[in-house]
Amino acid sequence: MDLNYSPEESAFRDEVRAWIRENLSDELRDKVLNYRELSKDELLGWHKLLARKGWVAPFWPKEWGGTDWSVVQRYIFEEECGAAGTPIVVPFGVRMCAPVLLRFGTDAQKQRFLPRIYNGDDFWVQGYSEPGSGSDLASLKTRALRDGDSYVVTGQKIWTTLGHYGDWIFCLVRTDSKTEKRQDGISFLLVDMKTPGITVRPIILMDQGHEVNEVFFDEVRVPAENLVHEEGKGWTVAKYLLGYERMGTGNIAGSKRELARLKKMAGPLLDDPRFRDRLTRVEVELMALEITNMRFLDQLRGGRAPGAEVSLLKIKGTEIQQAITELMMQTAGPFAQAFRPVNGESAFDRLTASLVPRYCNVRKATIYAGSNEIQRNIIAKATLGL
């Protein structure tokens, strides 16, 4: 065991850092650090820069643009991005749809979609949840009926993150409602959001932000060639994808950056032993999680799909994210409430003004991508055999 970085790894870190410094604009960085909404162009702009550099999808196979980095290199890369305050690479295409296509897609589908995903030509979003099907995803009702060369899709998705930016949405749909096991009637379908019959409606969250949506499908005709894997095998696809989905949600690199900022913000509070203890506990937890993360990633070498261990990363990672926002609120003290001036300009710095909305917003982290309760159920069953 050696928990130190090798000289090569440190050199790699320098390279990544220098590249980010050259390519990340102050304006964009400022927006990220102040938790401002990023436009579609800003998100895809950063994606395209990385794509040009060849770094947008490190974990893909080399032939499709992957980097062949070691687990440690991948972590270093994420850590540097987090520390610098780069926008995230929106996961729905690169981290979610692409691994599915690589595993289950036909050659034609790979040729058609993977290069566009890599280059950031399309904005992908995820259409899984429905009003009646959140944790219990297999109960989903959005139906897709085969009609000649097409599926006709009718139903509703909800909580679609950045659905208002979406060019394409990958959906779980019900192609057969009569199967004995509900899971067997589900299929995985790629839908062009410009197809007639699709309506996207915003949902405003309690931080007043617009990031999620309802997506309605009214007899939307989708070419049958957009089916991934076989009809009725969508659940297998979804299960494969879930591990990848959750892998990113721990957001360790982001938490490291936020923790460093928290320390700066805390100022005189750092002399308060009560506060300092609280802060230290979070910091220590994060240190442990960093190593846990790398231990688990290391086990995934050789292409094994992530399993229940990812649930642990998700649980701890999101709890830490939330704990940091809570401590940030505490540092702002009485100022943690000011949010928006009624008229004109705010006398507050934007960071302080963003702390409450941020605290509210991050409550989502223990709900989405499989709630933390569901993650615990998974560990109980899959790891512990209970």
Partner 1 sequence: MDFEYSDEQKLLAETLRKFLNTGYGFDARAKIVAGPAGWSEDVWAVLAEMGILSVPFDAEHGGFGGTTVDMMVVMEALGEFLVVEPYLATVGLGGRFVARGGSSAQQQRILPTLIQGKLKMAFAQTEPGARYDLRQVSARATKSGDGWVLEGDKRMVLHGGNADLLVVSARTSGGARDADGISLFLVERTAPAVTVTEYRTLDNLRVADVKLADVRVGREALLGGEGRGFALAEEVVDYATALVCAEAVGAIKYAHDATLDYLKTRRQFGVPIGSFQALQHRMVDILISYEQARSIACLACVKVDSADAAERRRAVSAAKIKIADACRHVSQEAVQLHGGMGMTEELKISHTFRRLTSIAQAFGDADYHLERFATLG
Ligand X SMILES: Cc1cc2nc3c(=O)[nH]c(=O)nc-3n(C[C@H](O)[C@H](O)[C@H](O)COP(=O)(O)OP(=O)(O)OC[C@H]3O[C@@H](n4cnc5c(N)ncnc54)[C@H](O)[C@@H]3O)c2cc1C
Please identify which residue in 208, 280, 299, 383 interacts with partner 1, judged by CB under 8 A: 208
CB-based contact 353:339 (threshold 8 Å): yes
Q: Which of 245, 283, 290, 309 is catalytic?
A: 245
Query: Measured between alpha carbons, how far apart are the two ends of the chain, in Å?
Result: 32
264 binds partner 1 (CB under 8 A): no
Nearer to ligand X, 162 or 355 (CB): 162
Look at strands 186-192 and 150-158 and give their pairing. Answer: unpaired
Query: How far apart are CB 24 and partner 1 at their closest, in Å?
Result: 30
Closest CA to 89 of 38, 133, 134: 38
SS3 253: helix
Please identify which residue in 134, 163, 185, 248 interacts with partner 1, judged by CB under 8 A: 134
Query: How far apart are CB 345 and partner 1 at their closest, in Å?
Result: 9
The CB density around residue 167, as the number of other CB atoms within 10 Å, is 16
Nearer to ligand X, 294 or 367 (CB): 367
Query: How far apart are CB 382 and partner 1 at their closest, in Å?
Result: 16
138: Cβ contacts below 8 Å, ≥ 6 apart: 182, 183, 186, 235
Please identify which residue in 83, 145, 205, 308 interacts with partner 1, judged by CB under 8 A: 205
Mask 310-349, x = binds partner 1 (CB under 8 A)? ----------------x--xx--xxxxxxxxxxxx-xx--
Question: Residue 34 binds which entry of partner 1, ligand X, none, with Cβ cut-offs from 5 to 8 Å by kind?
Answer: none
SS3 2: coil
- Contacts for 182-185: CB closer than 8 Å, 24+ residues apart: 182/138, 182/139, 183/138, 183/235, 184/232, 184/235, 185/232
Query: How far apart are CB 160 and ligand X at their closest, in Å?
Result: 5
Nearer to ligand X, 86 or 129 (CB): 129
Question: Residue 50 binds which entry of ligand X, partner 1, none, with Cβ cut-offs from 5 to 8 Å by kind?
Answer: none
Positions in the binding site for ligand X (CB under 6 A): 126-129, 134-135, 159-161, 212, 364, 367-368, 371, 373-374, 377
Residue with tokens 């442990």: 288
384 binds partner 1 (CB under 8 A): no
379 binds partner 1 (CB under 8 A): no
63 flagged as catalytic: no
- b/e burial code for range 21-42 (CB count within 10 A of at least 16 → b): eeebeeebeebbbebeebeeeb
Question: Which residues are catalytically annotated?
Answer: 245
